[in-house]
Structure formats: C-alpha cells, structure tokens
Chains A and B, each alone.
Chain A
Amino acid sequence: MVKVNKKGKKGEFKETTPLDVVYFILPFISLGLVVFLWYSVSTNKPDMFPSMTATWARLVKLFKQPIMRVPYYGHILASLKRVVMALAAAIVIGVPFGTMLGWNRKLDCFFGSIFNIIRPIPPLAWIPLIIIAFGIGEFPKVLIVFIGAVMPIVINTRAGLRSVDQLYLDVGTLFDANRRQILMEVAIPSAMPAIIAGIKTATSTGWMVVLAAEMLSAKSGVGFLVTRGMDANDMPLVLVAMITIGIVGALLGVLTSLIERLLCPWLQIK
C-alpha cells in the first residue's frame, strides 16, 4: 500500500508484522524456560541443584570475598590472558604455516601426514608430557591452549589457500605478477575469510581448553573456580563459574565477529 513516511515521501514501507514480533520474543521465551527449569529442579531437589537465590548470593559474596586473593574479575582476566597469549602465538605461527602447506605442494606432502596424526590428539592429552617438561607454571597452560588453537587455524588457512579460484590466479598471472605478488596480493586476500573462520574456531576452542587446563592445576582462572567449588562442595560457586564461562564465551564470539567485519568488509554485502 502506498503511504507517506515521516519525511513526507510517498512509497511502500516495511511494516512490523506479527512474525517479526514472534522472532523478537522467541529468544526470551527460551531463556524464560531455562530459568523456569532451573527454578523447578532446584525447588524439588534442593540437594542436587543450587537454587537461584543461593547462586546469586554466591556471586555477590564472590565480589566481596576474593578466592586465593584473586577477585572475581581477576579470575576472568587470568583465563582471558592465557587465551589471548596462546591465540596470538597460534595466529603468528599457524597462519604462515598453513599458508606454506596450502601454497607449496612439496611442503604439504612433507608435513601433511605428520600433521594429520597430531591433529586428532586432544590438547588435554598433552598435559602429562607438558607438566614433566615445563612444570605447572603459567607457560604450560598457555602451551596447551596454543595446541588447541593452532590446529583449526592451520587447517583453515591451508584449505583457504588451496581453494583460491583459478580465475583470480590467472588474472594475477596475466597482469604479470610474480609468484610472491600472486601469493600476497591474490591468494592470501582470497583465503582471508577462511583464515578468519579458523581464528574464530580457534578462539572458542581456546576458551574451552583453557578452562580444562585450569581445572587441573591452577591458582586462578574461571576453570579454577569450578574445581574449587567442586572440592569445597560449593555448588553455587560451580554454577556461578559455569554461567561466567558461558557469557564470556559468547562475548568472545561477538568480538571475533566484529574483527571479521573489520578485516573482511566485503563479506557483509548480501
């Protein structure tokens, strides 16, 4: 229907349909259901599952009373620091390595099979060897996260470089670009979306691995809070830590999407 908008222009305008309202409400309904489930389970089986009030109270207490002399946000920062350090190392090493494998057939043949065997080993399986070699300080934790984060980056970078459209490479050749120029100006930009996707996977993997690593031997970090709660039979603390993990993880996802938008602006066009 032809209408007039606020600026006095005639046209057909998009209106809010009932379906739009449904799309808007659905996430809240699911969240409400989780809360309801939590409420009903914790009311019926108070020994099995901490109540919402207890969890909230634990969170408030956590703000007032540090654990191992580290405040609540300090634990979050400790975990984030380990992930960021490992991720930075994984990008600096993983992207060039993946590029080498994807670009050079000989190197791919040389490293490919070793990489394929190492890849499926879960990062946590390295813990015993790493503890023997490096003890239980900060470095071994970062190293474990690094192992988890570097794999998706290498795999995605390699795949991205192998699937560069031949047409783009031909254009590079016809403009008389040398092989290095074709790699830097054509192949890597073309593989950029795949590389970023690898970094996104690496971030979420890294966040999972750091928590697991902290549950084994740490004096700080959100994973440490989970173990601490378990050891002290303090289930509200475990729940606070779990919810923290979920929220921080989701925020990391948003952050990496923003970085993707920044680095690959052409992907936003639909």
Chain B
Amino acid sequence: MSNELIQIETPFQFSEENQRKFDKLIQRYPVKEAAMLPTLHLAQKQAGYISPAVMEHVAELLELPVMKVKDVVTFYPMFFEEPVGKYVIRVCYTLPCALRDCKLVLEHIKEKFNIDVASETDLAKGTTPDGKFTLLKSECLASCDVAPVVMVNDDLYKNLTPEKMEEILDGLE
C-alpha cells in the first residue's frame, strides 16, 4: 500500500443530457447530500462504473468531501468500483428461489460462460473476457411468487429453468 496520491488523468463529466437530468433532480432535495444516490446512478449509467474520477466529480457537484461518496459507493452493492459487463446478471439466491432450484440456473450460467460468481471486491472473476456479461448472486428480488428469478440489468425474468435462461442469454446482444 503506497502513500502516494493517485492522479486522475481523465476527469469525468456528465454528458449534456445527464447534466440536464442532474440539474433537475438536485432541485428535489432540501440538501445536496440527499441527491447522492440518484446522482451516482446517473453517473454509473453513463460511465459504466464508479471510478475515482466519477467520485471526485460527484463530490464536487454535491459539495462534499470525496470520502462521503466513497462511503456510499462501498455501502451499496448496486454500485460498481470496477468495470462490469454490458449485461449484469443477478441471480436471486434467497430462500424461496433456492427452494425452486435457482442453483441450477446459476450453475448453468457459470458453465455456459466459464466464469465464477463475482464478489463485491472482485468483479473481474465473474465477468466474461469479452466484457459482455457479469454474474452476481443477489439477495431477494421481491418476486418470490414467481421464483426462481433473475434480473438482467433492469429487467426481471421469472419462473426460470436452465433452458429458459439459455434462451434469454442467447437473445441478448
């Protein structure tokens, strides 16, 4: 662990459209710090993951020390600190899905792409080398009535079997 400060070579900036969105959403909150989560989501959507440059920019926008941003980013598993695949596959691994054999779905995906399950601290081991898919286990996705479920980016897929999963994955660009 070195004690040398890292230099950010390419600073992050919101695109014009996202800047407009940010300007609008910041007005909804009584204090700027409260806009942290939506701002981070917006930034992650644009940049793919929360790099130090993103953290610096968000801290600047919200007039906070950068540690306050880092604090939130590491707290929530929805924010990534390293690059992830184009499609983030979250296999629900809580009890009802487990009873309905989510394990088979997970194992199928692992075998299909020959990857491991990513952890919060090591996303690379769960990402395909072409950077298309990242596989994550997830806590309850709140759809136990249609278990097992998988979320791919923002879309939920229900009543899954390995065969259905195969079909869905093949349909993704």
User: Are A and B genuine complex partners?
Assistant: no
